[in-house]
Amino acid sequence: MDSPASSSGTASSSGIRTLANRLASRGDLTGFLAGMTENVGADSYMLVAIMHGEARNQARIVASNWQFDTIELIGRQLIATLAQGPWAATPGMRPTALIAGAAPGTGALINGEEARLLDVLGHGEIYSLGLNVGRQRLFMLLSSEQAGQIDLSALARAQFECCYALSRIPDLVAQGAAEDPLSDRERECLFWVSEGKTTDEVAVILGVSSNTVNSYITHAIQKFSASNRAMAIATAIRSGII
- The neighbouring-strand residues paired with 136 are 133
CATH number of the structural domain 6-177: 3.30.450.80
- Phi, psi of 182, deg, nearest 5: -90, 150
Helix axes 26-39, 9-20, angle to 10 degrees: 160
Question: Would you tell me which CATH number, out of the four given (2.60.40.3080, 2.60.120.1310, 1.10.10.10, 1.10.3720.10), belongs to the domain 184-238?
Answer: 1.10.10.10
If DSSP codes are grouped into helix, strand and coil, which group holds residue 202? helix
Question: Torsion-angle region of residue 75: left (phi > 0), alpha (psi -120 to 50) or beta?
Answer: left
Decide: 44 and 118 in contact? Cβ < 8 Å.
no
pLDDT in tens, 158-210: 999 999 899 888 877 876 666 567 888 898 999 999 999 999 999 999 999 99
Terminal alpha carbon distance of the chain = 45
Q: Where do the structural domains in the chain lie, given as residue ranges?
A: 6-177, 184-238
- pLDDT tens for the chain, 242 residues long, are 334 434 444 445 565 566 667 788 878 888 899 999 999 999 999 999 875 544 445 678 888 999 878 888 888 889 989 998 889 999 989 999 999 988 766 455 888 889 999 999 999 999 999 998 877 789 999 999 999 999 999 999 999 999 989 988 887 787 666 656 788 889 899 999 999 999 999 999 999 999 999 999 999 998 877 889 998 888 887 766 77
